[in-house]
Amino acid sequence: MTSFVPPVRARRRTASLALVLCAGLTAALTACAGEDPDKGTNGVAKLSAPEIEKKARSAADSAPTVRLAGTLVSKGGTYKIDMRLKDRGGVGSVTSKNSTFELLRVGEELYLKAGAGFWSHDEHGTSGDAGGAAADKLEGKYVKVPEDDPTYKQMSGFTDKKVLLDGLLSLHGEVGKGDRDTVRGVRTVRITGGKGEGGALDVSLEGKPYPLRFARGGGGGVITLADWGKDFALAAPADDDTVDYGRQLPKSAS
């Protein structure tokens, strides 16, 4: 008996169909296995939570600049901040319940700039016409803050990169790994302290593992951290834009 041999075209169609079926099966198996979530990342998410925390802190400490923006809640009140910081100074604004003021620190010299509403008392602590005259004089001017004035210690912390980062990057309690997320379009992995009660930190999975967002425990505010390593101009204000009160600032409404 002569065996049947299919035509060449039929054999080709059968082979092509087999290839299509194999390709489909391979794709299905790949889909079932799931795409690697760490593909294209810096690999930090594979580390343990303490290791991620260490990497994030190291990246932050080595960066020459950063921008912090968001809300801080403390016993003294709620503050909205937007500060650009360097190792030797910073510039930006702080808004409290009663007012908004600008801060500028270059080296050890700290300047405060606010509207007339911020300055409601004269240098002797009395209100009235004298206080109003002082407020008008100070409006829109950079007032140099003496280093031995209590305001210096209170305000300079907002312009100190190390002080702010030490506070914002400290998680309290046992550090654990949380979910993945995105911050301003950048993929992140979250680490938490005390299951979130001690704060939560989102660390970048793209490029250097910079901290990108910090939520303080107990509803203490949320701060975003951006512009890591981006330089900005920082210089003392011109003399005609500056008021120097000597050893003590005039009292203010805040």
pLDDT (tens digit per residue) in 191-236: 999 988 999 999 999 999 999 999 998 889 999 999 999 999 999 9
Q: Report pTM.
A: 0.77
Is pLDDT above 60 for 84?
yes
pLDDT at position 130, please? 45
pLDDT at position 37, please? 78
Residue pLDDT, tens place only, 68-79: 999 988 876 898
pLDDT at position 251, please? 57
pLDDT at position 115, please? 82
Query: Which range among 48-62, 116-130, 206-220 shows the weakest confidence by mean pLDDT?
Result: 116-130
According to CATH, the topology of domain 45-240 is: outer membrane lipoprotein receptor (LolB), chain A (2.50.20)
CA torsion sign for 229, 104, 148, 252 is negative
- d(CA 105, CA 36) in angstroms, rounded, equals 46
Is pLDDT above 90 for 153?
no
97 vs 46, which has greater pLDDT?
Answer: 46
Percent of all residues in the chain with a pLDDT value above 90, rounded to a whole number:
52
